[in-house]
Structure 1
Amino acid sequence: MDFLKSAVASAIAAQGPSFPYSFGDKVDIDSSIWTLYNGTRRADGSNCSIFSFEVTANKSRLPLAKNALKKLRTMRHPGVIKVLDAVETDSYIYIATERLVPLRWHVKRKSLSPETIKWGLYSIARTVKFINEEGSSIHGSLRVASIYTSESGEWKLGGFEVLSNVKDDDAIIYTYGSLVPDSSRFTPPELAQSGWDAIKKSPHSAVDSYNFGTTIYEVFNGDFSGQYPAGQTKGVPPTMHAGYKRLVNTNPKARITVGAFFEQGRRSGGFFDSPLIKLTEGIDNLDVKSETERAEFLDGLDQLTDDFPEDFFKMKILPELLKSVEFGGGGPKAFGVVMKIAAKLPNDDFEARVQPVVIRLFGNPDRAIRVCLLENLPLMIDRLPQKVVNDKIFPNMVSGFTDLAPLVREQTLKSVLVVIHKLSDRIINGELLKYLAKTANDEQPGIRTNTTICLGKIAKNLGSSNRAKVLIAAFTRSLRDPFVHARNAALMALAATGEYFTEEDCASRILPVVCPSLIDKEKLVRDQANKTVDIYLQRIRKAAASMPDTILPPSQTADGSGPRMSTPQPSEVSSWAGWAISSFTNKLSAVSGEMQTANGTTTPQAASPSAGSESKRIASSTSSASALHRQAVKSPSPVPLSRNSTTSAPDAYFKDPSPIEDDDAGDAWGDMGDMNDDDTADAWGEPSDNTADPWSNTTTTTPATATTTSKPVKKTPAVSSKPFDDGSEPDFAGWLAAQAQKKNPGSSKPLPKGLAKSSSATAKKPLASRPASASTKSKKIDLKPKDTGGDEDGWGDGW
């Protein structure tokens, strides 16, 4: 093969004029006087085909080759092979044409669909009609071997070796008709009996009518055997049977012309009345059609199935449609057909033919075109390079986020899910999130809902540094949306993105805002809230199960002994107050010294061996319980209870709670100062009649008897029966100083900071005369969220 190509090229260079085309591979064709090569044009590298005839090898058929060259040069018709250039010398004839493929290849592979065959026969019939009627000529060699397909898939007629004008008495068909290779197999019956001169005795179209009938049989069934085909309708569509039989009639005068067959098929409901044929007929003048005609044409395109010639749509339909969409007003419907065709294009063809137009269309201000582009974006996004999406498409696409038309905003929002994997991290975490923050506040509830859904689906693409902050801010805001589906979408998004939040975020930032949805007015939201809460609770419980019991170091007393407040034991936890009793009795067990009775005498008391016995002893006598209580307070616990203070436990218990940060926590319980005496008694139980107020400043006490009696003890007038609830601080510092002075009379060591009296006036003033503390005044609860101050980069503000 290489030797042959080099020999041909050498012959061209040495013997004849320059031929600006290069020979490629040889194409295998049926028996013919021509040798077909694939070729390229040297100037631009475009494809072509080259028909080569070597004079010395086939000199007897030289008139046929010269006639073919002459007719191809002069015959101009869309259905005829297009000649690019030709060169003729004494030794060879070269004809450069458009790139062609023999139709025989497709017939042998049976790669043609019935609709495509009808479309091809339609084109050949129209061409033969032109030759017979307008050209007053006879083709004389019509068969599958003389038909080729172009790069666009269109059927092109060749084989002009014996094409002759009937007005020419010396036409080549009469003399050289029998020299056409394999002519005997396709010769009509009258010519087989009487020779080629019989053409003059019959209508000049009779030969081509018969050969067109045999061509129909070939394309539907394969090779034509040469036997009489009349009545053999195998494979031929039923709608063609009548016309086909009349084409192959044995009587040449009874045959219908190819033109008549063509017109018969074009009738409404005829075999040539198909969407594909209508499309090919109307594509050439699409730009000059009226709006109504263009709409009808495009509707026909939508009705086409996948059963159409891909090459024709790529080479012919696609360029015309793209031109119509961009300049001719084809609109979204035409672009929809473009996408249907482009789906079958290889990536190289898509990049060369479709991508440049798509990029330009994204800059088109026509809203209908923009929406159509966004709707079809999933069909082409995989074929668009990432650089093209980032640099050329997305900058034009984002204008849809702020468009006045809600449809454009919504479609732009939906397209985010399509292009997200093509966007860079810088664009995703910068420009895109800013636009999504705007759509999250859109006036259209559907757009707000879709923004929440979009964020939930692109969560994996967000940067890990600000992902949790953005998602929590967006979803928790949507939980307060008045649109029910927006709230439901927020709950579903939280359930789907839980993996991106820490356990601390789940417990402190998400669950508190999700829980109100458990009592939402809409059952749809309540059901989803329950599912979401269950997901987060399971995660929090799992995390809590792996945490240590405590992170506090073991506390020590001053003398190095163990902690005074013991850890609740299982037996104690059975009662809700068991831990408190255990702590109290443990404090008693650590007390040493003398116990003071109610009448002022002291009694030696050893440390109690067990909490249980002390509890019983406390319950046995009211007077002893009061004394034990004062003795227990004498030894303060070293564990501070205030979150922002280093004072000791008693100071933390009775100091004004205002230093605690969460000053609204106490107010949340309600104002209990409004309860009257009866209410207080009902709430806490009847007080014992013989129990004195341990924090009263009066020196008068109720005498205690050594033995219990059923006779009630008369209260002294100095003790008020009303519970102490004026909200002021007890004079605990003064009492503690007196106890310390009594224990160490010679010591002048000052009290710890925080326990000293604020002023002498306060210490001397009776408790009853002090003004009520501000903490007991009724306070309006502020429900506004507190400023956390943790939004350093401003992501929370956007949401």
Structure 2
Amino acid sequence: MNFTSIFKSISNFQFPYTLEETPNHETGLWQVFNGTRKSDSLPITAFKAKPNSTNAPLISNAIHKSKVLKIPGLCKVLETFDSDANATFIVVERVSPFPWVELSKFSKNKFALGLVVSQILTTLKFLDAFVLGTLSEQSIYLTDKGECVLFGLELCTKKTDVDPYAFANNLRVYAACMGIPMGPEDSKLIDPIKLVQLINRILGTIPKDWKIPASALEKGNMTIDKFVDKIHNTQTWIGNPLIAIHREFTEFHIKDPEGKLVVITDVENIFLDSRDLLRNLLPGFLENLIIPELCNMINLLINSQMNPNAASLSKVAATKLISFIAILLDLSFENQYFNEQYKQVVFASFKLQDRQIRFLLLIYLPKLIDTLDSNDVSSKIYPHFIQGLTDSDATLRLQTLKSIPIIVPSITERQLNNELLRYLAKTQVDSDIEIRTWTVIILTRVSSKLDESSRSSILATAFTKSLKDPDIKPRLASLYGLSEAISLFDVSTIANKILTVIAPGLLDKDPLVRMKAKDLFERYLNKLESQAMLLQEANMEIDKSKDIDFDSYGTDDTQLVEQFMNNLKITSVNTNISLKEEEESKENFGELPSHMEANPFNGNLDVGNTVVNGDDDGWADFDIDDGNLANNETSSSQFFNQPVNMVKSWNDELNEPEQPKKYVSPLHHKKNVVIPTTKKASLRNGGIASKHSGHPIVNKKETKNDDIDDGWDNNDADPWDEEW
């Protein structure tokens, strides 16, 4: 239903509330909508009338009485709208129908139901001057603080103004609209009788010490006001601590800090004496009444502890804080209620230096973490939590250490891989054996969350250090950690680092450590062997390595001698061929001069302006004039008009046919070119001498258009020639 459009049609009136589209409850006279006030988002409940010609007087009376009656125990009316018969509203603070379907649950706590009855009786006592007439199950509602209130003033009339005939007619109409029994038409009896019926419905039976007053009330011999005064002195009323607590909380807002502390102390006593008293209460009683005020008191005590001027509370702050925080945590977790006030108390409590409070918080930490987001944990809890690892008390250090796996998923990577690991490095050398042992256990439990790039080194270092611990517990813990972390190490890390970590344990002085180290070593070794088998299967076709007998390696030189002799034979054959060719040359050209018999080209020969250096030293000599010309006894004139003994070069037969002329760089014409020859292979190096080794290559003088014959031409194109 669009309520805004309805009110806009009325003189452009703006409805100041936002209501839900569908009602959450409905009776024969009213539709009940939840909503909020636009100005401040206050939760409200709006009762929208269902008018017709028959019930119009009842609705009109309810609107009127809602405006004038401001009695505790009635729904607190914020505003009424009755200018339009089709849009008649009574707006009250948020209420909800009494959960009658859960009455069996509440019956487990008889004091909680006794509190319900006391609240109804207190309201009727204030209405003693009026006839209500509508008291029934449908007229009882609950506030967000779990307090019972009444709604339904359709028949409400001042006792002095009651018209018996009109009242009876209206009672019949009301009963028909609501679908309930009409009850007695006598205005003096209707409320007492309905009250006794309601008490019996809530409690299941009338308490023994209430039966006599209830009987007198039902017969009209006692007013409701007198009945309430009578049962105030009964054990059922006096012995109900919840009634006294509720009365104190109704005045809580006007009490000073000391008075509020007294009320919260009463709650503490109830909690410590009988925990069941605070179970199975009406919805909202703990969450919106007790817990918020408990949070306020804890904050007040924390501030007074930090402020020496607040002497009145600072004296008891230290003794009361631990108890109040414990009650808050227990009640919050049992009722799964975690509002912003609760979170702020938790954050403030972690800042306290009191060891008892910090130990209490560590006990509840597994539950606390689930109620907070990661940002709050890492920024508001972790910085204070981690200080427990440096506390002088070993018990607190140990409990903090044990709680690390709980907080690790909620902290940042920097906090885990930098700050936390530094603290663990210190606890690993703690004087307490249990702390050293638990350090290894905790490191094992969080190892899967460590940075992969540094995890192997960190674990190897930590486990190595613990294996050297003088006490057996840390050593066994180290072996346990290595056993649990085996899946985190790759085979390369196992081979290079982990096996060397376990190996010292094989020589431990304790037999249990040696046994466990041996079993663990075999586990890691089996993992390596399994990987090796996979490598062997993958490389089976290409793996053709053969074993070497290094005992006899290099002692048999038979093959080396045989190779040497074969090379010697080849060299001898080539030498014989060279000598034969030299003899043939002598027969054709005659004897050479004595000083040239050893090397026919020992001097310089000028043939057709082509200079040949007889002292050819291979690639090492490119100088034409090496200074021997002036001192050489044999001049070039000795060869005039004489035949020259020429020996073919080894690559003469490879010379290509004459090719088309190419461009030759002018650099080639600045001096005569001497082409080095391949040196004769040395017999000492095992080389094989070529057929014409040791003889220079004699080239004719280059002309301007001739190609340079470098003695290395073959049938393929010369890349240098192509470049030019």
Alignment of 1:362-373 (within 5 A): 362-373=350-361
Cα distance, 1:298–1:263 mapped onto 2, change above 3 Å: farther
2:386 maps to what in 1? 398
Q: Provide the identity percentage.
A: 24
Residue equivalent to 1:100 = 95
Question: Structure 1 CA distance, aligned partners of 2:376 and 2:526?
Answer: 45
Aligned partner (choices 31, 47, 64) of residue 61 of structure 2:
64
In the TM superposition, residue 147 of structure 1 has moved relative to its aligned partner by 0.7
Q: 8 Å contact 1:243–1:261 — kept in the other structure?
A: no
Structure 1 portions without partners, runs of 5+: 200-205, 221-235, 556-561, 567-582, 594-747, 750-799
CA distance 1:159–1:38, shift in 2 (3 Å): same
TM-score by length of 1: 0.56
Look up the match of 1:36: 32
User: In the alignment, is residue 408 of structure 1 matched against residue 405 of structure 2?
Assistant: no
Distance in structure 1 (CA, Å) of the matches to 2:113 and 2:465: 63
Distance 1:515 1:155, change over 3 A: same
In the alignment, which of 147, 154, 171 is matched to residue 154 of structure 1? 147
Question: Does residue 459 of the first structure (1) align with residue 454 of the second (2)?
Answer: no
User: For the residues of structure 2 that align with 1:140 and 1:430, how far apart are their CA atoms?
Assistant: 73
Structure 2 unaligned residues grouped into runs of 5+: 253-258, 302-316, 561-683, 686-724
The residue aligned with 1:20 is 16
**Partner AA of 2:93 in structure 1:** E
Question: How many angstroms apart in 1 are the aligned matches of 2:531 and 2:277?
Answer: 59
Structure 1 residues 474 and 27, CA gap change in structure 2 (3 angstroms): closer
Correspondence 1:247 to 2:220: no
What residue identity is the alignment partner of 2:476? Answer: N
* 1:589 CA displacement: 6.8
1:176 paired with 2:172, answer no
Whole-Å separation in 2 of the counterparts to 1:7 and 1:351? 36
Whole-Å Cα distance in 1 between the matches of residues 473 and 283 of structure 2? 45
Q: Note if 1:84 corresponds to 2:78.
A: yes
Single out whichever of 47-56 and 430-439 deviates more from structure 2: 47-56
Opposite residue 45 of structure 1, the aligned amino acid is S
Q: 1:49 to 1:165 in 2, by over 3 A?
A: same
Deviation at 1:456, TM superposition (A): 0.1
Aligned to 1:761: none
In the alignment, what sits opposite 1:712? Answer: none
Residue 50 of structure 1 corresponds to: 46
1:325 pairs with one of 288, 294, 298: 298
Deviation (angstroms), 1:507: 5.1
CA distance in 2, matches of 1:449, 1:160: 72
C-alpha contact 2:298 2:345 (8 A) present in aligned 1: no
Does 1:433 find its partner at 2:421? yes
Q: Summarize the Cα distance change of 1:98–1:517 in structure 2 as closer, same or farther, 3 Å threshold.
A: same
Give TM-score scaled by structure 2 length. 0.62
Question: 1:382 offset after TM fit, Å?
Answer: 3.2
What residue is the counterpart of 1:498 in the other structure?
486
Letter in 2 for 1:446: E
More deviation, 447-456/409-418: 409-418
| CA distance 1:337–1:522, shift in 2 (3 Å) | farther
Q: Report Cα offsets for 1:142-183 as digits up to 9, x if no partner.
A: 2111111222333212223444555xx324788536514118
SS for the counterpart of 1:446 is helix
Matches within 5 A, 1:216-231: 216-219=199-202
AA aligned to 1:41 is: R
Partners of 2:492 and 2:477 in 1: how far apart? Answer: 23
- Structure 2 match to 1:389: 377
Kindly provide the amino acid, as one letter, of the partner of residue 179 in structure 1.
Answer: N
RMSD between superposed Cα atoms in Å: 4.5
Q: CA deviation at 1:343?
A: 4.1
Once residues 546 and 251 of structure 1 are traced to their aligned partners in structure 2, the CA distance between those partners, rounded to angstroms, is 93
Equivalent in 142, 167, 171 of residue 135 of structure 2: 142
Deviation at 1:452, TM superposition (A): 0.9
Residue 82 of structure 1: CA displacement? Answer: 1.8
Other structure's SS at 2:32 match: strand
Q: Is the contact made by 1:401 and 1:409 (CA closer than 8 Å) also made in structure 2? A: yes
Change (3 A) 1:508 1:22: closer
- Structure-2 residue corresponding to 1:211: 194
**Relative to 1, partners in 2 of residues 1:185 and 1:246: Cα closer, same or farther, differing over 3 Å?**
farther
Q: Indicate the larger mover: 451-460 or 330-339.
A: 330-339
Cα distance, 1:469 vs structure 2: 1.0
Maintained 8 Å contact 1:439/1:451: yes
Q: Secondary structure at the match of 1:182?
A: helix
Residue type matched to 2:394 in 1? P
Distance 1:69 1:28 in 2: 20
Equivalent residues of 2:59, 2:154 under 8 A apart:
no
Aligned mates of 1:301, 1:84 — CA distance in 2: 39
What is aligned with 1:359?
Answer: 347
Please give the alpha-carbon distance, in whole angstroms, between the structure 1 residues aligned to 2:477 and 2:220: 79
* Contact 2:34–2:44, Cα closer than 8 Å, also in 1: yes
Residue number among 283, 297, 313 corresponding to 2:286 in the alignment: 313
1:421 is the counterpart of 2:416: no
* Structure 2 CA distance for aligned equivalents of residues 115 and 412 of structure 1: 39
- Say if 1:463 and 1:351 are closer, same or farther in 2 by CA, change over 3 A: farther
Q: 1:53 to 1:498 in 2, by over 3 A?
A: closer
Displacement after TM superposition at 1:38 (Å): 2.6
Counterpart of 1:338 (choices 320, 328, 347) is 328
Cross-structure match for 2:716: none
List per-residue Cα deviations over 1:368-398 (Å, max 9, x = no partner).
3333333222213234232333333323332
Q: Distance in 2 between matches of 1:244 and 1:185?
A: 26
CA distance in 2, matches of 1:521, 1:591: 55
SS of alignment partner, residue 443 of structure 1? coil
> Separation in 2 of the partners of 1:110 and 1:370?
40
After TM superposition, give the deviation of residue 463 of structure 1 in Å. Answer: 0.9
Kept in 1: contact 2:486–2:524 (CA 8 A): yes
Instruction: Check the 8 A contact 1:310/1:344 in 2, yes or no.
Output: no
TM-aligned CA deviation for residue 122 of structure 1:
2.4
Q: In structure 1, what residue type is equivalent to 2:46?
A: I
User: Whole-Å Cα distance in 2 between the matches of residues 52 and 467 of structure 1?
Assistant: 67
Q: Which amino acid aligns with 1:61?
A: L
| Alignment match, 2:717 | none
What residue identity is the alignment partner of 2:44? C
Give the direction of change, closer, same or farther, for the CA distance of 1:117–1:293 in structure 2 (3 Å limit). closer
- Alpha-carbon contact 1:120-1:154 (below 8 Å) kept: no
1:711-731 deviation line (CA, Å, top 9, x unaligned): xxxxxxxxxxxxxxxxxxxxx
Report the equivalent of 1:9: 7
Q: What does residue range 690-709 of structure 1 map to in structure 2 within 5 Å?
A: none
